[in-house]
Amino acid sequence: MNLLTVLLLSLLSGKSLGALSNNTGVNQIDLKKLLILALPLIIKYMTSNSQSQSGLSSLFGALGAHQNRGSVESQIADADVEDGQKIIGHILGDDQDQVVEELSRESGVDAGDVLNVLGTIAPYIMSGLSAATESAQTQQQAQAAPAGGFDLGGLMSMFGAQPQQEPEPAPAPSVDGSQLLNALLSMMK
């Protein structure tokens, strides 16, 4: 099971949907439709953004800032929606209005509510990714893996996406991403 599936299933649980509905005012049936459409799209944009060194650095910075380990429903209930909307703005960039309108049209949820839902779930997505990365790092350190470069294909495969070729390799952070994320994948099967 990839991380996208894990995140989606956790958001679609009854308690999580209830907390999200209470926080946003959107009914649970519409939330399910919206989440099923939105989460893969958010992950697609995140992995695309991480193709560049600046995008990758930005992602690691955001992961460091979002380390809430509470339950999904408590993270949703306590979400800083303003911060979440900033996260969504960084992830979607110039495409934000178009993506929100498309999600609204496809899900039947008002565009303002779509943005509110995305802002509510964004901190949880970042915390979930942060926790998964930490677990993989711990497993990698336990296996005493040698240091190396970051494999963007590993990050993308963690979400179930296919890697794209970069024209030139970016300088690698000090984290060995391929082994780290391969360990994460093996933990989730």
| Burial of residue 144 (number of CB atoms within 10 Å: 0-12, 13-18, 19+) | exposed
Mean of pLDDT over the chain: 75
pLDDT of residue 150: 41
Q: What amino acid is encoded at 111 in this protein?
A: A
Confidence of residue 130 (pLDDT cuts 50, 70, 90): confident
Would you state the structure tokens that stand for residue 12, as one six-digit string?
């679609």
Q: What amino acid is encoded at 14 in this protein?
A: G
Question: Any idea where the domains of the chain sit in the sequence?
Answer: 3-164+171-188
Question: CA of 13: how far to CAs of 10, 16, 18, 103, 141, in Å?
Answer: 5, 5, 8, 21, 32
Q: Above pLDDT 90, what percent of the chain?
A: 41
Output the pTM of the full model. 0.71
Confidence of residue 117 (pLDDT cuts 50, 70, 90): very high
- Do the beta carbons of residue 103 and residue 114 sit within 8 Å? yes
pLDDT of residue 96: 97
For Cα atoms 54, 87, 116, give the angle at the middle one, nearest 5 degrees.
160
DSSP conformation class of 143 = T
| Pairwise CA distance, residues 149 & 133, whole Å | 16
DSSP conformation class of 165 = -
Residue from 4, 16, 119, 130 nearest 67 by CA:
130
Q: Above pLDDT 70, what percent of the chain?
A: 62
Longest CA pairwise span in the chain (Å): 50
Query: Is the pLDDT assigned to residue 122 strictly greater than 80?
Result: yes
